[in-house]
Structure 1
Amino acid sequence: MPRTPSAHGTDSHAAAVHTTTSDHPDASVPGGISVHPGNPDGTTAPPAGSATDPVGNDTLPHGTVDAVVIGGGAAGLNGALMLARSRRSVVVVDGGAPRNAPADSVHGLLGLDGVPPAELLARGRDEVRRYGGLVVHGQVVSAEPAPRTGAVGADGTAATRAGAGHEPADRADDPLFTVALADGRTLTARRLLVATGLRDVLPDVPGLAEHWGHGVVHCPYCHGWEVRDEPIGVLATGPASVHHALLFRQLTDDLVYFTRGTVLDDNTRAKFAARGVRVVDAPVEEVVRADGGGIAGVRLADGQFVARSVLAVATTLWARTEGLDGLGLPMEDVPGGMGRRFAAAAAGVTEVPGVWVAGNATDVTAQVGASAAAGALAGAHINAALATADTDAALTAPSAATAPGTTPAPVPAI
């Protein structure tokens, strides 16, 4: 049957494939094929300001903004939306190449099931801008705490709230951050929301990466309906692949499990046999391309060919950390050896005061809806923290009405 590839998270950025060992910013990422943003020539896709640039570039405000959101996917945009609707000055820095760019549609998102990923994000950017938020196309090269010397922005002007005229907190203990972009632009912000998402690392199997997002899928909830009743092969990457196979077995009666050197005990083999799952222990040599451009099947090291039209693989999941080392955000391993993520508590709170994380950068299994919800919660939490900081600043700020030599203004009679 015809298949329509569908999407997982939108927070990360994945449009081209390169080898992990040569260009992944985190040296701890093991060998494999890393799917991440960029054109085949290594440049960011598409260039900011070009005719095909979907993000656009708003004019950056002078002075300090309430929040900078790093990442323009579902989590980042929804966080920015909550902040903008709370009359906070917010700037979203969007690399313009979401993780689910190869997919044709988003699924499992109530009211928007089947919407193309690019359309969903375009709507999100429009909604943020509708409430005064700004969105710029750019790559963050550094983000770090900045010394607070009073309410002064990066350009030396008074750090007023852009767009509404409200004064921000002017306290030495209120966090302040500088964010530098690759094109030389800089931002100063009181709070940061990191929504950079993650990159998927595929097994280094020849021919596999070229079918990513189409014949090669990873999420049964994102892609499952579209590949139902197809002959599916599961390429094992670790213990989690067993559960992965059982989920895809719900979608097809024709399932082959390629162990790829992973251990499969007798109990698990019995379960697979009971469900009619065929197990292949011979090493996988390559993914064979069909004449029509899809997947024809898998060739094994012993020369045997196993016909499959869909391959399911549990990628390892690595939070995108480029440019964020200066924040000192703690990270943690994903259970089961499936990657690494930012450590965060409820509402995306981190151990670094003034910095929140939302979406796939901390919740690697979140689909688009869950990522958007996490961004909304983090945005609301940031606004609440700012409201508290503003109130604390107001309590300690000198008032013109009570300055030396003045008389307090009378309270109007009721």
Structure 2
Amino acid sequence: MDERYDVVVIGGGAAGLSGALALSRARRQVLVVDAGAPRNAPAGHVHNYLGREGTPPAELLEIGRDEVAGYGGEVTTGEVVRVEREDDGFRVDLADGRAVAARRLLLTTGLVDELPDLPGVRELWGHDVLHCPYCHGWEVRDRAVGIVATGPMGVYGALLWRQWTADVTLFQHVGRAPTEEEREQLTARGITLVEGEVAALEVAGGRLSGVRLVSGEVVLRDAVVVAPRFTARADLLADLGLETVELEAHGTVMGSYVPADAMGATAVPGVWVAGNVANLQAQVIAAAAGGLNAGAAINADLIAEDTRLAVAAHRLIGVR
């Protein structure tokens, strides 16, 4: 082993850095291993983060790294390729050949947005192609927004985004058609329903110009909303016997996550999770809160272990 730590945090986003900050302030030896590919990198700003509203994602992470380092925590750029239980802790192998030991693990690797397979979606993702109104609704308020339905949540999404703009068009791309009750709801709220498969998003000068249907018709839109599948980045935990589970809503699979208790403890002793890998709906501030909770729980668990070891040593000395 190159080094030994109380805790190795795998993932250096808001959840990982928040957990590392709490643990470093608790005078634990902490290493954060970050692959440098944050989920919100395409977004221009972080929103709904009290005190940091509108901060660029990269800037927020840089501030967090500096704070962790200020309390003695280590943050390194790299990729963890394997974790395995070893003795009373874990062995963590990095892609550069380095191996470190950890008494506890905190996995904050986030999730992958699996986008609909439509031309134009990927290149516009994060600025003109959106998914969360609480993240981006204000930025497209009163503009022409299109909802591309790829499942049973299309009507719900259209009604939700109607809060931010009166110009909403629901494109019934795939999935079941709206019921009569849902059609009445759309009409009552002034939402246009376009029935017909979407062929692609029209891109002009790197920006969205409209939605092109299979029929050839183009409907002008300033922003488009899609529903990705949210898949937890948790392959590393399979070797420890921990699997992800699917999250269903309204009869459709929304994604996968690692189950854990309220403080992030998993079914595998010594392993905690926080952020989007455990909570698909967590925005940045919620992910940071999850990391804090997990950090506190890990420290408490280590204190209990330290105390058991100290008592055992004390008794041994007494016997002698």
- TM over 0.5: same fold? yes
1:86 aligns with 2:2: no
d(CA) in 2 for partners of 1:86 and 1:398? 24
Query: What aligned pairs does 1:125-164 form with structure 2 within 5 A after superposition?
Result: 125-146=65-86, 148=87
Are the counterparts in 1 of residues 15 and 290 from structure 2 also a CA contact under 8 Å? yes
Bigger helix fraction = 2
* Other-structure match for 1:178: 91
* Other-structure match for 2:134: 221
d(CA) in 1 for partners of 2:214 and 2:150? 17
d(CA) in 2 for partners of 1:273 and 1:400? 78
Bigger strand fraction = 2
SS at match of 1:366: coil
* Other-structure match for 2:279: 363
Identity of aligned residues (%): 52
Report the alpha carbon displacement of residue 245 of structure 1 after superposing the two structures with TM: 1.7
d(CA) in 2 for partners of 1:253 and 1:144? 53
Alignment partner for residue 278 of structure 1, among 192, 195, 212?
192
d(CA) in 1 for partners of 2:180 and 2:257? 33
Structure 2 length as normaliser, TM-score? 0.95
Query: What aligned pairs does 1:236-315 form with structure 2 within 5 A after superposition?
Result: 236-263=149-176, 264-290=178-204, 292-315=205-228
Structure 2 portions without partners, runs of 5+ = none
d(CA) in 2 for partners of 1:229 and 1:205? 25
Structure 1 portions without partners, runs of 5+ = 1-60, 149-174, 405-414
1:334 aligns with 2:213: no
Q: Which has the larger radius of gyration?
A: 1
SS at match of 1:364: coil
Moved more, 354-363 or 252-261: 252-261
Are the counterparts in 1 of residues 116 and 227 from structure 2 also a CA contact under 8 Å? no
* Other-structure match for 1:76: 16
Structure 1 length as normaliser, TM-score? 0.74
1:196 aligns with 2:106: no
Are the counterparts in 1 of residues 151 and 174 from structure 2 also a CA contact under 8 Å? no
SS at match of 1:363: coil
Report the alpha carbon displacement of residue 204 of structure 1 after superposing the two structures with TM: 0.3
Report the alpha carbon displacement of residue 185 of structure 1 after superposing the two structures with TM: 0.7
Report the alpha carbon displacement of residue 400 of structure 1 after superposing the two structures with TM: 8.0
CA RMSD of aligned residues (A): 1.4
d(CA) in 1 for partners of 2:267 and 2:172? 40
Deviation string 1:269-324 (CA, Å, 9 cap, x unpaired) is 1111110111111000111112x321110111111111111001121100012433
SS at match of 1:75: helix
Report the alpha carbon displacement of residue 403 of structure 1 after superposing the two structures with TM: 6.0
d(CA) in 2 for partners of 1:216 and 1:62? 44
d(CA) in 2 for partners of 1:344 and 1:242? 31
Report the alpha carbon displacement of residue 63 of structure 1 after superposing the two structures with TM: 4.1
SS at match of 2:236: coil
SS at match of 2:263: helix
